[in-house]
């Protein structure tokens, strides 16, 4: 059991696969496993890649993997498959090139089915990111299709969010509708080899603002021709560097962990308890403990439930 955790920490591929499955299925060893690996997470740069169906997310991820690998960085890729009718369920844009990456020991690729269950989806993905992080990947890329709240929520766990758009999708309203404008750190107009890229770039740029002290950026590129990818990488390096300068957990990070714990708890207790918890001192203390990696989120959630005398924790 704790052997699996140790093997994950050594970066063994088969252990990584088994650990992700264990946490996905919430089997009997999953809680102990999460407790073991959690203190070793928080080192990877977690990049969320989202956007409407077919904009070229997978093609870009493929390019990014190559770029990071050429710098000798270990990369984990998590593709959350919403069974998109657009690609007919194909998870990775260019299967041939991804296959090439799959043979590279420095790349780990995993796809994960969306269960149509919001909590389940983000939970499983979040834990898979943690496994990939603990296994020593320098960069973890999570691809989701930004069509609804469930998909968009996943990128909340990311250090940075890259929103991929393309010409011919209409204007910035497209991004706005799905709530993509608020979550993006970088907006990429992909398929710049097609007409209309500059117009979309301009439209997006005109509605962007400041987010957590970072000026949202908009760029254009082509995953097909490679145009603009250098600039995209420079921009990604910048957000990564920014995220790494924050040693002490900032308000955003604490907020994320706070959300996660609340979600775990509220699946068990009544929704009205939410407001009570938010003003609870002990709750704040636990959030900080998790942030300091003294405790994993599951264990913290159980501690919270123990404080509710009328309820009994049942796994
Ligand atoms: N012309 C052009 N086509 C591109 C470019 N990038 C991707 N494509 C094509 O767009 C289609 C969709 O690419 P994917 O990478 O699968 O897009 P995706 O966003 O991952 O798609 P889903 O995961 O299904 O939402 C494929 O046919 C790609 O070959 C580009 O820069 N220019
Ligand atoms: Mg894709």
pLDDT digits (tens, 9 = 90+) for 58-111: 999 999 999 999 999 999 999 887 654 444 334 454 454 566 777 788 999 988
Distance between CA atoms of 180 and 173, rounded to whole angstroms?
10
Q: Check: CB of residue 168 under 8 Å from CB of residue 162.
A: no
Average pLDDT over residues 133-150: 86
The pLDDT of residue 24 is above 80: yes
Ligand 1 atom closest to the Cα of residue 51 is: 19
CA 192 → CA 168, 169, 228, distances in Å? 11, 13, 9
pLDDT at 111: 85
Q: What is the pLDDT of residues 296-305, one digit of tens each?
A: 999 999 888 8
Ligand 1 atom closest to the Cα of residue 62 is: 15
The pLDDT of residue 284 is above 70: yes
| Nearest alpha-carbon partner for 110 in 122, 101, 123 | 101
What pTM, to 2 d.p., does this model score? Answer: 0.80
Nearest ligand atom owner, CA of 59: 1
Q: How far apart are the CA of 178 and the centre of ligand 2, in A? A: 17
**What is the percentage of the chain residues whose pLDDT exceeds 70?**
79
- Max mean pLDDT range (5-14, 164-173, 196-205, 210-219): 5-14
Nearest ligand atom owner, CA of 93: 1
**Tokens for 304?**
């919270």
∠ CA 141-142-145 to the nearest 5 degrees?
140
pLDDT at 215: 83
Q: Whose CA is nearest to atom 21 of ligand 1?
A: 54
pLDDT at 144: 86
Q: Whose CA is nearest to atom 9 of ligand 1?
A: 56
Distance between CA atoms of 127 and 143, rounded to whole angstroms?
15
Pocket, ligand 1, Cβ cutoff 6 A:
53-59, 84, 86-87, 93, 145, 190-191, 193-194, 222-224
The pLDDT of residue 116 is above 70: no
Q: How far apart are the CA of 223 and the centre of ligand 1, in A? A: 8
Choosing from 48, 59, 77, 200 the residue with most ligand 1 atoms within 8 A of its CB, the one to mutate for a pocket test is 59
Least confident of 23-27, 183-187, 254-258: 254-258
Distance between CA atoms of 201 and 181, rounded to whole angstroms?
13
Average pLDDT, rounded, for the chain: 83
Q: How far apart are the CA of 24 and the centre of ligand 1, in A? A: 28
Q: Check: CB of residue 19 under 8 Å from CB of residue 130.
A: no
**Tokens for 19?**
């650990």
The residues near 50 (Cβ < 8 Å, ≥ 6 apart) are: 57, 143, 144, 145, 146, 151, 152, 154, 155, 161, 162, 163, 164, 180, 183
Q: What is the pLDDT of residues 162-176, one digit of tens each?
A: 999 999 776 555 666
pLDDT at 154: 64
The pLDDT of residue 12 is above 90: yes
Distance between CA atoms of 29 and 5, rounded to whole angstroms?
10
What is the rounded radius of gyration, in angstroms, for the C-alpha atoms of the chain?
20
Average pLDDT over residues 8-12: 96
The pLDDT of residue 213 is above 80: no
pLDDT at 148: 64
> How many CB atoms sit inside 10 A of residue 16's CB?
24
Q: How far apart are the CA of 296 and the centre of ligand 1, in A? A: 38
Q: Whose CA is nearest to atom 28 of ligand 1?
A: 56
**What is the percentage of the chain residues whose pLDDT exceeds 90?**
48
Distance between CA atoms of 107 and 145, rounded to whole angstroms?
22
> How many CB atoms sit inside 10 A of residue 236's CB?
20
pLDDT at 105: 85
Higher pLDDT, 96 or 156: 156
Q: What is the pLDDT of residues 227-279, one digit of tens each?
A: 999 999 999 999 999 888 876 777 777 887 888 788 777 765 665 677 777 77
Alpha helices (H) along the chain: 2-9, 13-25, 30-37, 57-70, 95-102, 118-134, 149-154, 173-177, 180-183, 197-205, 229-244, 251-266, 273-278, 281-291, 297-306
Ligand 1 atom closest to the Cα of residue 145 is: 25
Helix axes 118-134, 251-266, angle to 10 degrees: 130
């Amino acid at each position: 059991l704790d052997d699996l955790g140790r093997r994950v920490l050594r970066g063994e591929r088969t252990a990584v696969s088994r650990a992700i499955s264990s946490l996905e299925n919430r089997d009997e060893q999953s809680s102990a496993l999460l407790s073991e690996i959690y203190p070793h997470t928080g080192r990877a740069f977690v990049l969320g890649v989202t956007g409407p169906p077919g904009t070229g997310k997978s093609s870009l991820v493929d390019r990014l993997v190559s770029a990071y690998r050429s710098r000798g960085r270990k990369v984990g890729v998590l593709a959350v498959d919403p069974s998109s009718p657009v690609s007919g369920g194909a998870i990775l844009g260019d299967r041939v090139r991804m296959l090439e990456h799959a043979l590279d020991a420095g790349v780990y690729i995993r796809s994960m089915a969306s269960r149509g269950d919001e909590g389940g989806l983000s939970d499983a993905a979040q834990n898979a990111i943690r496994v990939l992080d603990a296994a020593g990947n320098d960069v973890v890329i999570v691809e989701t299709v930004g069509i609804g709240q469930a998909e968009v929520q996943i990128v909340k766990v990311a250090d940075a969010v890259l929103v991929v758009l393309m010409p011919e999708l209409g204007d910035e309203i497209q991004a706005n509708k799905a709530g993509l404008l608020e979550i993006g750190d970088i907006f990429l107009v992909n398929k710049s080899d097609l007409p209309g890229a500059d117009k979309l770039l301009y439209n997006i740029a005109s509605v962007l603002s400041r987010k957590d002290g970072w000026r949202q950026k908009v760029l254009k590129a082509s995953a097909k021709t490679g145009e603009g990818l250098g600039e995209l990488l420079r921009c990604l390096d910048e957000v990564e560097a920014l995220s790494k300068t924050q040693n002490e957990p900032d308000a955003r990070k604490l907020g994320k962990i706070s959300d996660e714990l609340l979600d775990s708890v509220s699946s068990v207790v009544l929704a009205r308890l939410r407001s009570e918890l938010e003003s609870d001192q002990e709750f704040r203390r636990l959030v900080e403990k998790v942030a300091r990696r003294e405790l994993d989120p599951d264990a913290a959630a159980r501690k919270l439930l123990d404080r509710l005398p009328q309820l009994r924790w049942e796994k």
